[in-house]
Amino acid sequence: MGSSFRFLFALFCAVPALSLPASPYEVKESVHPPHGWVQHSAPSPSHGIELRIGLPQPNFGVLETHLYEVSDPDHHRYGQHLSKEEVEELIAPHPDSLDAVNDWLASHGIQEEDVTRSPGKDWVTLKLPVELVEKMLDTKYHVWKHTKTGDYIVRTTSYSLPIHLHEHVDVIQPTTMFGQFKPFRSTISKVEAAPATPAANSLGSLVNPATGLTIDASCNVTITVSCLQQLYNAVGFTPSAKGNSIGITGYLEEFANFADLQQFFAQQVPAAENSSFKVVSVNNGLNNQSDPGFEANLDVQFAFGISHPITPTFFTTGGSPPFIPDDDTPTDTNEPYLNWLDFILSQENIPLSISTSYGDDEQTVPEAFAKRVCADFAQLGARGTSVIFSSGDNGVGDGDSNPATQTCFTNNGRNETKFIPVFPATCPFVTSVGATDNVAPEVAVSSFFSGGGFSNYFSRPPYQDVVVPNYLKTELAPGTFEGLFNPEGRGFPDISAQGDRFEIIVGGQAFLIGGTSASSPTVNGFISLLNDVRLKSGWPALGFLNPFIYKKGFAGFTDILSGHNSGCGTPGFNVTKGWDPVTGFGTPNFGKLKELILEVTGA
């Protein structure tokens, strides 16, 4: 327990709260516990909680306007991204909100030196004992246990605030959030005898009928960097522009191994041998070289292998270890991507494209919190960074990867059956990536993944106003899946890429791995190459991708015309010509995209 935390706990126990004008409490947020979570016990009164308070952003609408203008290939401001300071000015809370929250904290003995503020002052973070948090929020926390995974968390299902504070606070967490942030990785199998030189092709060649490109037939068995370069029309391209950068986020003690990367490069990207990546620690994140992670190695090996020699960074974000009842050492925190966002938004220089292969079932993340996190991703886009997320691995279903046991129940207390979208992939300010399989032709991955569908939290963004209604009208017969999804919601994914049988090195051994966890870093690598083309021609990086993709860029993607995304006892949605909620617009054709991105220059 840190000294500041001990001081606050002692102060709470010894000093009465300061006197302020009385304001009765009223419930701010209330949820039903998600399926699988049951009350286990009461936490220790001194159990630490890292409380985050989100203050309203009254000018966010202005920021959103800027974001769409600088991302619209037909707008004269295209590519004129905002500075860190300009973004912070636009998301700053009103002084009245700052004062109201500060007074409330002071009434509980909490002073300015006890809190940490985000760069825009729209988030307040403080570490407190649960007993004090219960008093501040007029609530009761419990230890909850997940009946399937055995995980424990400390949460409440309802919290309140003084009435006068409601307009000055958007969200407070961790309170009602029961999410199980996880990597979107579906299959792992050990390769007993991996080829020493994957480029050597003993199986002949195939021609992709959709593109006319020739691909090694071995790519139908094992996906390598060379396979992706062939399939996506980037053979022979070497980036050379200065100032380019690419990032990968790592969470949940997934560590990227340097020795494994060198072995991977020796086999698949010889030109990259003896190069490495920068490690940036967030929230005391580690990169333990004795414990290589499948997810982290997959992400860095393929993203950095495709994009070499563009400057690579691996962000390792520390998260609390699994909470153990009666153990006061761990601090139960929020989803770790908020820790990462706090950090990255405070930096002057951030990678121009960043991918994340993790997420939650949308309904396990409270709507108010999801919308605030999504707004943070909008800040990254406004500053010129492409933010890329995996679309999930369970089709239209929930986090249970076994189709026989998928329930797809809602968390609204009525046990309704509905499709389960995935967050942050449903955030309209990120680019969501689904998964494909095979190479001649590519199809949607059939083995129960390539997450897709429609958000229940986020309405349809303007860039989807044509393609989504067209899909719903032409591809779904009246009444199809009625009541199972929100037809007015943000559709996802936006695009897709290969997502199965990727050969990676972990602990010096070769493995095959799959999931949209593979698709997201793949797209990240190719977006980084496109940024190289832009920068070399004197133009800004692509930034927020979706307005470009939906208006012009779709012509640079290969449409996927076979497959569906099963789940919830249904076949899920079907792929179709054009955009669909399985593979989006399809997979990248680097050669075509390279031409398209040079046609849009702004003023």
In the residue annotation, 299 being an active-site residue is answered as yes
Secondary structure of 567-599 in the HEC alphabet?
ECCECCCECCCCCECCCECCEECHHHHHHHHCC
CA atoms within 13 A on the CB side of 247: 23
Residue 276 · residue 313 · CB < 8 Å: no
Which of 517, 519, 520, 528 is the catalytic position?
517
Which of 43, 38, 49 has its CA nearest to residue 9? Answer: 49
Q: How far is CA 543 from CA 81, 381, 388, in A?
A: 8, 6, 11
The 10 Å Cβ neighbour count of residue 167 is: 12
Residue 29 · residue 176 · CB < 8 Å: yes
Report H helices in 383-442: none
DSSP 498: E
Three-state DSSP class for 539?
coil
Spacing of C-alpha 391 from chain mean position: 9
Task: Name 405's Cβ contacts closer than 8 Å, sequence gap at least 6.
Answer: none
**How many whole angstroms separate alpha carbon 458 and alpha carbon 468?**
14
Task: Name 212's Cβ contacts closer than 8 Å, sequence gap at least 6.
Answer: none
Task: Name 265's Cβ contacts closer than 8 Å, sequence gap at least 6.
Answer: 272, 273, 275, 305, 308
In the residue annotation, 291 being an active-site residue is answered as no
Cis peptide before 493 (omega within 30 of 0): yes
Tokens of 367: 């709507």
**How many whole angstroms separate alpha carbon 82 and alpha carbon 88?**
10
Tokens of 267: 């086999």
Tokens of 368: 């108010």
Which of 64, 254, 299, 532 is the catalytic position?
299
Cis peptide before 93 (omega within 30 of 0): no
- What backbone phi and psi angles, to 5 degrees, belong to 213? -80, 145
Which of 295, 393, 494, 580 is the catalytic position?
295
**How many whole angstroms separate alpha carbon 85 and alpha carbon 481?**
46
In the residue annotation, 253 being an active-site residue is answered as no
Residue 353 · residue 388 · CB < 8 Å: yes
| AA identity, residue 423 | F
Tokens of 511: 């493995």
Instruction: Give the DSSP per-residue string, 288-318.
Output: -TTSB-HHHHHHHHHHHHHHTTSEEEEEEE-
**How many whole angstroms separate alpha carbon 261 and alpha carbon 59?**
44
Residue 175 · residue 199 · CB < 8 Å: no
Task: Name 250's Cβ contacts closer than 8 Å, sequence gap at least 6.
Answer: 256, 285, 287, 293, 295, 296, 299, 314, 315, 316, 317
Tokens of 463: 């860039």
| AA identity, residue 312 | P
Q: To the nearest 10°, the Cα dihedral for 444, 445, 448, 454?
A: -40
Q: Which residues of 478-487 are buried (b: 16+ CB within 10 A; e: fewer)?
A: eeebeebbbe
Q: Which residues are catalytic, by number?
A: 295, 299, 517
